A and B are shown apart, each in its own frame.
Chain A
C-alpha cells in the first residue's frame, strides 16, 4: 500500500497537501496551492528556494552548489524542485 506524506506551510494561509511519498514537489505544488513559485524546474534558478523542515534526503552536489550561492546562511534551505518527499515536511518561503 502506498504511504502518504503531508506537506504543510506554517505561517501562510495555504492548507496542507497530502501526497503519496516519493513524489517530486514540482509536479504537485503550484503558486495557487502553495507559496512556492517554480521557474526553471531543474535546480538552477533558485525561484523555488524554501526551507524544508522534515526528514528528507540531503541535497546532491549540484543542488548544494546552488544553495551555497543562494542561501548560505540557511541550514535547511532547499530547492523545492529538486526535492522528493519521503516524510511529512513543513515548507517555509525564504
Chain B
C-alpha cells in the first residue's frame, strides 16, 4: 500500500482511539431520565417532527417540544437500522480486505468502529424507548432489535416479494464481498454516501449541544447527538480513504465487479429517492409513516378525534408547506453532494455519477404520490 494512504489510515485509527466518545455516551445514557429534560428542545427547532407543516403551525409550545423530541426518537431509530447493517458489513468487508498484504490496520479500524456502533445503538434505543413509554405507553418509532438484512424501520412501498429480494441481495453481497477485495472496498462507497447524507443533518443536531449556553446542562439526548457525530466523523473518513484511495491499490475491477458496484450505488439512490415532510433529512417513503403519525395525533399529546387526525394528516402530507420545501432542499443538497463525492470513481455508470434516479423526484411528484396514497389510508 502506498505510504501516504497508510499514513491517512494511521491518523484516522490513532485519533479515533484517542478521541473515542463511546465512554462518554455510555455514561450519559446511564444518567438519562426523561423527567429531567422533558420540557425542553433537544435539537434546533427546525428539526422537529412535521416542522413547518399545518400541524406545527397550530401546535402549542408544549406540543412543539414533544414534536422536537420525537424528531430525535424517529431520526435515531433510522440510524439504529443503519448501524446494525454497518456492523455486519464491516465484518464481511474486513474479511475481504484482510486477504491483502498489510491491510490489518483497516480491519482494526473497522473493529473499533463496530464496537462504537454497538454503543450508539444502545444509547439511541435506551433513550427512545423511555421517551415513547412515558409519552404514549407504547413504542411507535422504536422497534425490537433485528438483523442486518431487513428494510429500515419505515421504508418505501415494499411488499413481501421485494423484501425477500432485498434480503437475498444483501446476503449475497455480504458473501461475495467477504472474498473480493474490490467489492469489499465498494461497500465503503455506499457507506460513505450514506454517512455524507447523515452528516448534513447531524452536524446541525450536534451544534445544538456545542452552542448551548451551558453545554454541561444540555439535555442528554443533545449530548448523545454530539458524541455520535464525533465518532461518525472517523467512520466517514475510513469510508473515504477506502473507497477513494485504497481502491486504487487494487487491480482494476472486472466487468462483474463493476456491475455489482454499480448496482449497489443504484440501490442507494433508490433508498434515497423519497423525501419526507415529517422528518427533514431522512428519505423515508411517507405513506409508510402514516400509521405512526396517526397514533401520535390520537395520543393524549394531541387528543385528536379520528376525523380531525385524518384531516390534519391530509393537510400535512398532500399540500405544499414550508416543511416540505425544507425537506426537498435537503434532498437536493444530498444529491449534489453524492455527485461530487463519487466524481473520481471512473468505474461508475453515468446514471450513478449523475444520481439521475434521485433527480427525478420533485415536490409535484411527492404531492401526487401522497394524494394517491392518502385515499387508501
Contact = CB atoms under 8 A, between A and B. Distances in A.
Interface of A: 26-27, 30-32, 37-42, 44-47, 62, 65-66, 69-70
Q: Which of the four size classes fits the interface of chain B?
A: 20 to 34
B217 interface: no
18 contacts: A27-B207, A31-B333, A31-B336, A32-B332, A37-B337, A38-B199, A39-B196, A39-B237, A39-B341, A40-B233, A40-B234, A42-B230, A44-B11, A45-B237, A46-B8, A46-B240, A65-B11, A69-B11
A44 B341 contact: no
Interface class of chain B by DSSP: helix
B236 interface: yes
A46 B15 CA distance: 15
B7 A69 contact: yes
Contacts, number: 56
B341 A37 contact: yes
Given A26-B203, A40-B237, A41-B199, 19 more contacts: A27-B207, A31-B340, A38-B199, A38-B203, A39-B199, A40-B199, A41-B233, A42-B229, A42-B233, A44-B12, A44-B233, A46-B8, A46-B240, A47-B240, A65-B11, A66-B11, A69-B4, A69-B7, A69-B8
A38 B229 CA distance: 14
Contacts of A40: 199, 232-234, 236-237
Nearest to A70: B8
A37 B334 CA distance: 11
B11 A39 contact: no
A39 B240 contact: yes
Interface string B161-201: 00000000000000000000000000000001000100100
A19 to B, nearest CB: 16
A39 B332 contact: no
Nearest to B336: A31
A69 B337 CA distance: 23
Contacts of A69: 4, 7-8, 11
B233 A37 contact: no
A45 B4 CA distance: 14
Interface string B56-68: 0000000000000
A65 B8 CA distance: 10
A32 B333 CA distance: 7
Contacts of B8: 46, 69-70
